[in-house]
C-alpha cells in the first residue's frame, strides 16, 4: 500500500500499547505516512517512543478531544511539526484510562453518564473532524475514518445504549460528510469492529470472540490494516460506507456453544 506515503495522518485514542489506535498508527508509519498520535494522558509519549520514527515523521501530544480549544491546539502543533492533516483516524472513545463507566440499563442511566458517553465517542470525532475538514477541502484531498462499531449501526447490547447511540451517530456523520465533501476528493468511511482483543477487553468479550465463525477474537492489527486501506489513495472511490470487521459474527444467527 503506497497511497499514504508522505501524507500526514492523525490517529486519536492511540495511548494503549495494545489498542486499535496504536496499531493503526504503527501500520501507517510503516506504510510511509507521517503520523501524529494523541490520547488524554502523557502515556502517549511512551507510544511515541515505541513507534521509533524520526522527529520529522512522528509527533505526539496529549489532548482532551472533548474540548474544542485543545483540539485546535493539537492540530496547529501537528501542522507546525509535520504539516496539515491529510488523514484523520477518529479512534478515540469507548473507554478512558482515568474513568470507569460500567454498563447500565437505559432506565437507570443518569444524564451525566449519557453526556459523558456521547462526549468521548461522538463529540471527540465531531471536534477533530471539524478542525481538519476545511483544510482538506481547500487542498482538494483528505481521508477521514471513523472507528464506529457493529454495536449501534448493526447490533445492540443490553447496557450499552449510549455507546450504541454514539456509534450509530458516527455512521450518520460518515454518510452526510461523504456527500458534502465528496466533490473535493475527500472520502469519509467508518469501520465497524466486532470482538477485538485489546487491553481493555473483558473475559466475556474474549469468550464472545471465540463464538464467531472465525473462532477467535480479532486483533488490533486486523482493524488497522483496514484503516490504512481506507486512508490510502487507492481507496479513492470508496466513501460513505461502514466496513464491518467482525470475523463473520453478525452474519450468524446462532452463537451459543454447539
Active site residues: 163
Report the predicted TM-score, pTM, of the whole model to 2 decimal places: 0.95
174 CB-contact burial (10 Å; exposed 0-12 / middle 13-18 / buried 19+): buried
CA–CA dist 172, 2 (Å, integer): 30
Question: Per residue in 68-93, pLDDT tens?
Answer: 999 999 999 999 999 999 999 999 99
Spatial neighbors of 88 by CB under 8 A, at least 6 apart, are 9, 10, 12, 128, 129, 132, 142, 143, 144, 145
Question: Per residue in 189-245, pLDDT tens?
Answer: 999 999 999 988 888 889 999 999 999 999 999 999 999 999 999 999 999 999 999
CA–CA dist 209, 16 (Å, integer): 20
In the predicted model, is pLDDT for residue 98 greater than 60? no
Amino acid at each position: 500500500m503506497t497511497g499514504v506515503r508522505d501524507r500526514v495522518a492523525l490517529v486519536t485514542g492511540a495511548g494503549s500499547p495494545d489498542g486499535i489506535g496504536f496499531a493503526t498508527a504503527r501500520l501507517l508509519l510503516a506504510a510511509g505516512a507521517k503520523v501524529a498520535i494523541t490520547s488524554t494522558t502523557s502515556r502517549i509519549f511512551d507510544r511515541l517512543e515505541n513507534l521509533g520514527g524520526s522527529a520529522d515523521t512522528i509527533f505526539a501530544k496529549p489532548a482532551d478531544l472533548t474540548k474544542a480549544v485543545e483540539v485546535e491546539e493539537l492540530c496547529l502543533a501537528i501542522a507546525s511539526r509535520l504539516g496539515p492533516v491529510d488523514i484523520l483516524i477518529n479512534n478515540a472513545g469507548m473507554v478512558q484510562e482515568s474513568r470507569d463507566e460500567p454498563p447500565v440499563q437505559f432506565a437507570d442511566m443518569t444524564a451525566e453518564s449519557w453526556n459523558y458517553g456521547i462526549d468521548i465517542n461522538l463529540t471527540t470525532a465531531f471536534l477533530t473532524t471539524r478542525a481538519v475538514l476545511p483544510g482538506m477541502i481547500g487542498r482538494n484531498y483528505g481521508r477521514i475514518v471513523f472507528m464506529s462499531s457493529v454495536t449501534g449501526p448493526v447490533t445492540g447490547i443490553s447496557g450499552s445504549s449510549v455507546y450504541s447511540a454514539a456509534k450509530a451517530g458516527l455512521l450518520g456523520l460518515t454518510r452526510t460528510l461523504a456527500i458534502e465533501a465528496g466533490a473535493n476528493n475527500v472520502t469519509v468511511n467508518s469501520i465497524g469492529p466486532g470482538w477485538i482483543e485489546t487491553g481493555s477487553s473483558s473475559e466475556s468479550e474474549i469468550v464472545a470472540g471465540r463464538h464467531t465463525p472465525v473462532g477467535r477474537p480479532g486483533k488490533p492489527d486486523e482493524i488497522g490494516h483496514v484503516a490504512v486501506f481506507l486512508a490510502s489513495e487507492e481507496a479513492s472511490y470508496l466513501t460513505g460506507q461502514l466496513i464491518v470487521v467482525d470475523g463473520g459474527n453478525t452474519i450468524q444467527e446462532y452463537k451459543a456453544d454447539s
